[in-house]
Every structure is written in structure tokens, then in C-alpha cells.
A and B are shown apart, each in its own frame.
Chain A
Amino acid sequence: SQKIEQNSEALNIQEGKTATLTCNYTNYSPAYLQWYRQDPGRGPVFLLLIRENEKEKRKERLKVTFDTTLKQSLFHITASQPADSATYLCALNRGSTLGRLYFGRGTQLTVWP
């Protein structure tokens, strides 16, 4: 079965630094991988998507990389702010036309002033 691991349950960094979150997967090569943000008491919100044939994707202060050889995606937040504090989830699709996603457990990011 597909296994998805996010590097740690919690990550604490100082404001202004770059946060780097890791998502590793096993057994299958996903067609694409997505990153979501989840705030307490709320549903996940989509941030970025990267396809298997893409190395890197950027959106404002966010950057996602995808290394199919290492079976790993990295999610970076540059110039982090306290408002970036949340849980970040990675999810992958194995190429199913039904759009099914498999989620990791998430990494809780705290950015302190």
C-alpha cells in the first residue's frame, strides 16, 4: 500500500527564516503531488500542485520541489511569518482518473517572532 511520511510532526522556526518541510513516499510513483494548509478547526486549503515531470513550482513565498528518484517532495516557505503557523499536509495521486488523493499526517509549523 502507499505510504507517505512527512518529516516531523512539529517544526519551530524564527520569523524571517526559511521553513522546509519534507514529504517522502514509497511503493508507487505519483502522477502529481499537492500541498495543503490546515488551520485549527478548519478544513485543508490547497496551496500548490507539482506534476511528476516538473522539478520545481513557485507561488509567491512558497516553493515546492519534486524528486522522483529520491521519492521526495520539499515544501519551502521563505521569509516566514507568524501567520504561516499551521499544519501542512502533502497528498499524492497515483495517476487515478478518479482524482483520489493519499494524505500524509502533516507537519505542524510554528513561526515565532
Chain B
Amino acid sequence: NAGVTQTPKFQVLKTGQSMTLQCAQDMNHNSMYWYRQDPGMGLRLIYYSASEGTTDKGEVPNGYNVSRLNKREFSLRLESAAPSQTSVYFCASSELPGSNNQPQHFGDGTRLSIL
């Protein structure tokens, strides 16, 4: 049982390049989330998907887009990478929206550097 799988684990981009971070979960969860984690700051929510077919902005959505491809997969796209987007990106999932007491399950992150 893999849980939440993120690919790639590491990536280096040049400013202006685009890329998509992939996330898949095998726990049949309805809700999925993308966070970024920077030194000295807590996890900050970029986008989330409460259920298949819906996506909403979090705290820091600028410069990103997301796609909820199906119930299992939730991808994060950087259209034109900027050095300020250098960070560690985490994907998470949880059970039914509206079930307020469910923990989130995290992947091990994608470490992204933009030069």
C-alpha cells in the first residue's frame, strides 16, 4: 500500500521553463491538496480539490495551476517557473469533504530548484 506517491522527487529548472508535478493516492480519498514548504515557514496551501471534478485556490495560488485528473490523481503545473517558486512541494489526501476530523496523508515531496 503506497499511500501518496509524488513524482519526480527532485527537479532543477531554469527560469521560464514549465513543468508538472504529479501526485497519486491509492487510499480512495476524495480530497487532495498541494502545499509548499519553505525554510522558516509553515506548510502553505497552494490549491486543493475537495472532490473529483472540483478545485479551489488556497493561500498562495499565484503562478500555479492544478488538474484533478480522476479520483486518484492531482497534478500541479508551473507554467513559467520563477526563482521564488524554489521550494519543497507536498501533496496530501484525506477522506470525504465534510468529514472534519480526518487527518491528511502526505507524500514525501518534490524538491524543486529554479535557477
Mark A residues whose CB is within 8 Å of B.
4, 31-32, 34, 41-46, 49, 51, 89, 91, 93, 95-106
Query: What residues of chain A lie closer than 8 Å to B97, measured between beta carbons?
Result: 97-99
| Chain A to chain B contacts (Cβ below 8 Å), 17 pairs | A41-B109, A42-B108, A43-B90, A43-B107, A43-B109, A95-B100, A98-B31, A98-B97, A99-B31, A99-B50, A99-B97, A100-B58, A101-B104, A103-B44, A105-B40, A105-B41, A105-B42
A90 to chain B, nearest CB (A): 9
A97 contacts B103, C-beta separation under 8 Å: no
- Main secondary structure on A side of the interface with B: loop
Query: What residues of chain A lie closer than 8 Å to B44, measured between beta carbons?
Result: 103
Q: Range of interface residues on chain B?
A: 20 to 34
Q: Which of A45, A51, A89, A96 contacts B43 (CB 8 A)?
A: A89
Q: Of all chain B residues, which has the CB nearest A9?
A: B40
Total cross-chain contacts (CB, 8 A): 65
A12 to chain B, nearest CB (A): 19
A51 contacts B101, C-beta separation under 8 Å: yes
Mark B residues whose CB is within 8 Å of A.
4, 31, 35, 40-45, 48, 50, 56, 58, 90, 92, 94, 97-109
Q: Given A34-B103, A49-B101, A104-B42: A43 and B4 within 8 A (CB)?
A: yes
- With A and B bound together, what is the CA distance between A60 and B105 in angstroms? 21
B111 to chain A, nearest CB (A): 9
A97 contacts B100, C-beta separation under 8 Å: yes
- With A and B bound together, what is the CA distance between A46 and B92 in angstroms? 11
